Structure 1
């Protein structure tokens, strides 16, 4: 281990001391800078190596800058590693540095590794040219799980002495009786409280309400991503987002409600930030159908408002598929992504999921709506105190609150108008 660290130090020193430019890299989340008049050349070379320093793991990111006429335009270098965004500034700037006789210079930066799985490091110089295609240099890396060491507990003499019994006395016998009375009273009180709790839940279940247990003032953070298909499909997605927001105890983020933020940050950065901060990512996926099983075009009902499909929607869906594919080897990271289908009534043999989503947990609406809501809240950490289990905050919704969502999915599925409300209610688990 120390030999590899020494080798890296010597490697960095041999490349870093050939010039007087120092680099300072800090976390930053601003918009990439572009310039129409002049931009530096792309990064000449890139290496990424996993290091272990003590008990911490770091990525040693080294990149090379070409020394040519475009060096005077170089202002900074951006490093995207995993979900982290860093900006590296040079002191002095390349335009003021003495680089006579050099063809390229190397710089290095250490990034903390805070999770295992798939890491992708992307580096590019700024300002960017108007056409950014092929301007970045990127390398993937698989970070294995860090082994944990277990220490066997040692029995101490004080612990053994605390378990020794003392001679019985009348005072101790009386104390044991008092403790027994207290324990009996507590058990009786718990039985009464649990009985009241069971009666309360049964009353709610018989009254037609669905119960979602959640922590008070802690809504589940959900990101909804979908492809840009027909207006009817988009209307069904918006209806699902509104149901989760107003009746499902969730804090929903969807591109329809943050078009200004997407325009400011760009689809890639906006999606990366939302996925990192969300509890769950719901991917509304269209089923890949055979031509004979595909429904005809349908027109949204007049009672449902029309929305224009955002331009960024077509970019977000391929980005989320690539993100899911990059986490395919990590079950922990992959568990964050769930798939929602809106054609549960169709023949499963005629429609399949995209290959990137076939390993994700899937739900079919309307059949799995109740299971989806309960699964979203069951993933949250709940306190183990008896008081929190008996008196924790509840979210209740009835079938009336799913009317708009049912109508949108019926329109998407092109159901016949003769279906009764009683049949529709059976779709809700």
Structure 2
């Protein structure tokens, strides 16, 4: 009898405590984990609320997670606020928690913040694969006032005696110039106020972006990335470049390694034609060193299989550039991105078709490249648009992975070129 009662109470206690999942959020400086196949469902709901704790204004971030079969793949939740990433982990993990008879759970994270227009993004981890027309993050904004209360101390009243002497005088000779000066200043002030009002009305929708553009998500720019099938080391550097553009460069990137299934259905030629037509810019990534048989694989980096489509897409894009060579407007959307030190366009390392394209070099021209990707069109370059247009910004830690892969690739290519040089000299002498 007592054993049955004890077992019943233990069962009830386990059911109650299993629903208590705690969340802990810490700063996170690396790229968010992604999964190409298995990923949890998106965040169900998301709210922002300003609260005051011990006289300090703080932001209460609340999000809801649906209880479904995909919870076993849920590793955590990512919060992006004011150019800072936070990684939230659950204890116990959702995969081991018993969440029967529940459809949704809310979690909260309290964080101190500044004032102005605050933008926050939330997404479950690992992130789902990149698909056109979908966005893994839920975005919300909140306006926090920057005004401060000031206290004025009362002062003791003071009595001032003023003696007025009235006498008949003639008008001064300088009264008319003073009146003219006041009238001219008033007209000038009125003109300045009118211009300020016009600028305010023109830039009203973008004022928050001008002051807090680092916190406002940009409209992604469609970009197509094509690269030659050199080796796995070069491919990893290209993927790191595409991930940087997608997560920190404000771009919607199309690359073969992320759309292999679609390429298999349409074929390389049709897929390339559609993506080049819909993209604003086509970035052709070029290696810095080209040796017989290409570069040897880098033993310090893990090997990765190069998609079969990469062998077909690079010759197709060279042919497409050659077909647009006679039209400067059509050729302007094709850019060359070199991974490594800047080289002369006349160098034999760069194909003839690409020597007429605008060229950028990583990492030296990374900021210049991001600005050009979001540059206004020629017919929109007015003074007010230049004052009110959006910008793109990223921190040094966001470029860490890309910088490491490019530097490793550059060092590896330099070593390969030095090893091949004696062989070339022997062949030339023979």
Higher Rg: 2
Using the size of structure 2 for normalisation, the TM-score is 0.45
Using the size of structure 1 for normalisation, the TM-score is 0.45
